[in-house]
Amino acid sequence: MKRALDRPTAPDNAGTPPDRDLVKQETLQRIERLRTKSSRGLWAMALFIAVSIVALNDFSLLPSLPEGIRAALGKPPSSIMISGALVVYTFSAIILILSRMMGGSEEYSGFSHVGYLTAFYGFYHFAKALGDNFWAVFAAGITILGLESYHIWNFCSEAIKREEEILAAIERNNRQ
């Protein structure tokens, strides 16, 4: 599904050509939006690394949950169950990202992945198994977010090239 972000402006009237300056301005605006969008992957990666730094010390920077809340949450799942869920999540996320890449989709879900990965850190923390499983979550996160970041960067780079071709065509027409 192509959005207006990827298409040049259509003329208002079928018989009148579009104003070159207006098309050029709109094309430059789309390029700027695409450049901004292409950096989302890096921001998600930076956020995940910040969360990982806090998780590395078993969330010692954050206050502990009161015993009443821990009791209300019940017994935490075993680390084997959490690891199984992490493996399923990792492969599912990779498959979804690869399918979006193959389909040319501009969808991006890097920040939601940061939330899910943070939840895995939290599950391991409550199961008192974060020390043994930190690197598994970290490796899964770097893999997922790296692939997601590459996907959005690649999509935006290709769209920017198309927009630059429009600008080049406008410049050629201005010289004539």
Task: Report if residue 12 sits inside a domain.
Answer: no
Instruction: Return the minimum-mean-pLDDT range out of 3-12, 31-40, 50-59.
Output: 3-12
Task: Report if residue 109 sits inside a domain.
Answer: yes
pLDDT given for residue 132 in this prediction: 93
> How many domains in the chain?
1
Task: Report if residue 6 sits inside a domain.
Answer: no
pLDDT tens digits for 140-167?
A: 999 999 999 999 999 999 988 988 888 8
Q: In three state form, how does the secondary structure of the chain look?
A: CCCHHHCCCCCCCCCCCCCHHHHHHHHHHHHHHHHHHHCHHHHHHHHHHHHHHHHHCCCCCCCCCCHHHHHHHCCCCCHHHHHHHHHHHHHHHHHHHHHHHHHCCCCCCHHHHHHHHHHHHHHHHHCCCHHHHHHHHHHHHHHHHHHHHHHHHHHHHHHHHHHHHHHHHHHHHHHC
Task: Report if residue 141 sits inside a domain.
Answer: yes
Per the structure, the complete domain to which residue 91 belongs is given by 20-175
pLDDT tens digits for 51-107?
A: 999 999 887 777 677 788 777 888 888 999 999 999 999 999 999 999 999 998 888
Percent residues over pLDDT 90 in the chain = 47
Looking at per-residue pLDDT, the higher value among 47 and 16 belongs to 47
